[in-house]
Amino acid sequence: MILLLYMAALRNRRLSLLGMFACLLVEIVLLNLLIAFNGAASNPFSAVLLIPLIMACVWLPHAGAVAIVGLSIAAQWTQWQFTHMDTNHALLAHAQGMLVSFTITSVLIMTVVFYLRHRLAQQEEKLHALREKQLRNEQLLAIGTAAAQLTHELATPTQAAQWLLEEGVEKTQPTPAWLSDLSAQLSHITHKLTQWRQVTDDVRHQRTVAVNARELASEIQHLMQLVRPEVAINWHIEAQLDTLKVNADRTLLPALSNVIVNACDAQKRVNDEPVSVSCSHKNNTVFIEIRNAGHTENLEQLGQRLLPSSKGHGAGAIISNATLEKFGGTLRWEHVNHEVITWITLPSSS
C-alpha cells in the first residue's frame, strides 16, 4: 500500500527498482509489527502480507522478488515467538497451520507469477519478431514493386531500340563491328528482362522445382566467374551433393550469388586474398560457408532490416534472407578473428 500511495503521488514519474524494494521492505516490516502485537501468527488478517509479496513478484527482478518473499516468510515465522505459550493446544496448532499455509501460498504465488512473466516475455519476443518480419516484408514489397515497375517501363524502349538496331543492321552493309556488339548487348538485356518476368511469374504462382545441389553449386560458381571475375574464390564442393536435391524456384540462385558477391566486395576493400566458399551436407541439409576478410557492423541485424551506411543499405541481404527463409533455409553472419563468416543452410531431400 505504501508503494501504491508513493507511485500515485509521483504520478507519471517512474520509481526506481531500489525505491520499490525499499517501499515493499518497509511495508512488510510495519505490517508484521502490527500483526505481531495483535494476535501474531493467529491473526486472520495476516493474509494482507500477500499483497506486497505479489507486487514484488510482478514489478521487481527475480532476485529482488525472491528476497522480498524470503523476508516476508521469515518475518511471519518470527511471529511464532509472540504466540503466548499458555495458549491452548488448538490455537497453537491453528497458528502453526497459518504459518505453513502462508509459506506454501507465498512460494506458489511467486512460482506462478514468475511463470506468467516468462510466458509474457516470450510472447513479447514473438510479437517483436513478427513486427520486424512485417517491416521487412513491407520493405521487400516496396523493392519488388519498384523493380517490377522498372522492368515494365524498360520493356518498351528496349524493344524499340532492338527494332532500330535490326533496321540499322539491314541498311548498313557491311555491318560495323560496334553495331554488332551493341546488338549483342541489347539482346542480352532483353534476355535478362525475360528472365525477370519468368522469376516474377514463378513467385506469383509459387512454382518450385527440385534442383540438384551439385548443379546448383556449379551454377553459382559459373555465375561468380561472370559477375566478379577479378576476385579469386577458393571453392570446396563435396561430390556427395550429387545425391541431394533442393526444392526452390528461380529466385534461389540470385539470392545465393548476391551473398557471395557481397563477400567479394567486402574482401576487395581489405586485400586481394581469395574468398573461401565451401559447400557440404549433413543430415539432409546443405551447408554453404563463406569466409572473407573485413568487419561488418550490426551483423545480428544484417538481413533483418535496412541499415543505412556508406556502403549501402543492406537491401540485398534482406532479399536473400527472405528468399532463403521461404525455402526453409537460414542465413546468418558471424565475425571471428578479423573474418566475416556467412552460414547458409538449405533443407534437401535425397
Is the separation of the CB atoms in 207 and 249 below 8 Å? yes
The pLDDT score that the predictor gives to residue 130 is 78
Instruction: Determine how β-strand 245-248 pairs with β-strand 209-212.
Output: antiparallel
Give me the domain span that covers residue 294: 209-347
**48 and 159 within one domain:** no
**313 and 201 within one domain:** no
Cα separation, 137 vs 133, whole angstroms: 6
SS3 content of the chain, % helix, strand, coil (to 5): 65, 15, 20
Is the separation of the CB atoms in 64 and 56 below 8 Å? yes
Determine, yes or no, domain membership for 138. Answer: no
The pLDDT score that the predictor gives to residue 227 is 82
The model carries a pTM of: 0.54
The pLDDT score that the predictor gives to residue 91 is 64
Is the separation of the CB atoms in 36 and 47 below 8 Å? no
182, amino acid identity = L
> CA separation (Å) from 343 to 26, 286, 287, 321?
54, 11, 7, 11
Number of domains in the chain: 3
Is the separation of the CB atoms in 105 and 57 below 8 Å? no
**264 and 165 within one domain:** no
The pLDDT score that the predictor gives to residue 5 is 63
Average pLDDT across each block of 10 residues of the chain; the chain has 350 residues. List them in order: 62 71 81 72 71 85 88 80 57 73 87 92 85 67 65 75 76 73 77 72 72 88 85 88 84 86 86 89 89 74 64 71 84 84 87
Which of 179, 205, 231 is where one domain is finished?
205
**40 and 162 within one domain:** no
**163 and 290 within one domain:** no
Determine, yes or no, domain membership for 135. Answer: no
Determine, yes or no, domain membership for 63. Answer: yes
Cell of 260: 557471395
Tell which residue, 173, 323, 186, 153, has the closest CA to residue 255.
323
The pLDDT score that the predictor gives to residue 296 is 65
**103 and 73 within one domain:** yes
The pLDDT score that the predictor gives to residue 24 is 80
Which of 205, 237, 256 is where one domain is finished?
205
Which of 104, 130, 156 is where one domain is finished?
130
